[in-house]
Structure 1
């Protein structure tokens, strides 16, 4: 596979103040739609697979599909594990060929989070694989990962600095008011907290739960230093809405190519929309 470490992509975004999409794949059509959109806008790309998606697709299929998708592409692409829950699952992804991993120990106590993250960083960096970690807890549900709103907790800036210094992570996911899944109301992001954290750690910062965030708020977040923005729910909704539209017009359809194809096209358009919001168009090297 022609993959690059995520750290290479995010360091450029950090230096030039733009955001890169961390776009989740759920099946072949998602992968094709995402790659096509990024290529059309000449954008660097972080393809993400969650543990749930890997179970659904199969590790071998994930690797082979990504290999086929990136074989002839001219844009830099990283393959990233989203919300890795254990050292063992992360090692499995590294052995399989992922160029980046996330260890999400944000539900653990601060010292436990540091210890596990540091262990992952030492192992991953020894083979050139990038590491993202999370500090603070982001509400909502992503696959098996659920945090009740009452348990969500914003990232403490001083803890963020200590965490980065003690673990050596390449990127830090912070909690400033976003949530995984579908928002019940209008999210309010704590931009002052973001600015403080970015100034203290001076490194790539990640925003999870960006589906449903307005273009204005995404632009503001990127301007204040967010360099990676995770999107999954928006793509799932676009794919499903297009398929429903196709069936509403032609309920007699039975050929999956006739409805999955339009669904894939809808993902491509949504990817291009997000890329333009984040400012990564024409940033591929």
Structure 2
């Protein structure tokens, strides 16, 4: 059977699988050829400013729009471009790339959740990355937010509900809707299952 290996070079801030890093360090383009050759990896996850979790950036790293919404700094597309030059055609991966949709954050907070200063990677930046050598973009936090928002809403509106089918079903439907949007409108992967 075939086994593929995805390696990661650089450090993403945030927490994943109980492993945390306080700050990120961009992948150094001058190291990618040697690293991929020595590891024999099939794809390479790089660090260009993304991070794990629902807070991709601290409020100090962001600006705020007129509504008080945090606006993150741009990803380091110059680093990505240099890595593409060093590894032409090599599959690149972005970990920690959820956009943290504000509608889910607001819904979670409306129904009792406390997740202040949540901020993600803007979808237009993910669209740009998807048009490059980036072949995989991890957006797990978006799924968690979508499900949590709907579960909180259903339980708040129906406090006597105890049947998981009654709140997990709507949450699953919202998750499907969110992933369809991401695949069609953001990641550009709709219709490429057989490619």
TM tier relative to shorter chain: 0.7 to 0.9
| Shift of residue 187, structure 1, vs aligned partner | 4.2
Q: Does 1:191 pair with 2:77?
A: yes
Q: Choose from 179, 182, 185 the match for 1:274.
A: 182
Q: Choose from 163, 169, 180 the match for 2:52.
A: 180
Give the equivalent residue in structure 2 for 1:235: 143
Give the equivalent residue in structure 2 for 1:129: 3
Gaps of 5+ in 2: 63-71, 100-120
TM-score by length of 2: 0.77
Give the equivalent residue in structure 1 for 2:105: none
Greater than 3 Å deviation, 4+ residue runs: none
Give the equivalent residue in structure 1 for 2:15: 141
Structure 1 segment 17-166 matched on structure 2, within 5 A: 127-149=1-23, 152-166=24-38
Give the equivalent residue in structure 2 for 1:204: 91
Say how many residue pairs are matched: 157
Give the equivalent residue in structure 2 for 1:90: none
SS at match of 1:172: strand
Gaps of 5+ in 1: 1-126
SS at match of 1:129: coil
CA RMSD of aligned residues (A): 1.2
CA contact (8 A) 1:207 1:228 kept: yes
> What do residues 118-157 of structure 1 show as CA deviations (whole Å, max 9, x unaligned)?
xxxxxxxxx52000000010110112121112xx211000
> What do residues 257-278 of structure 1 show as CA deviations (whole Å, max 9, x unaligned)?
1001111111111111211211
> What do residues 167-206 of structure 1 show as CA deviations (whole Å, max 9, x unaligned)?
2210000000000001234142000110110121120000
Q: 2:73 & 2:20 partners in 1: Cα distance?
A: 18
Give the equivalent residue in structure 1 for 2:152: 244
Larger strand proportion, structure 1 or 2? 1
Give the equivalent residue in structure 1 for 2:193: 284
Q: 1:166 & 1:132 partners in 2: Cα distance?
A: 13
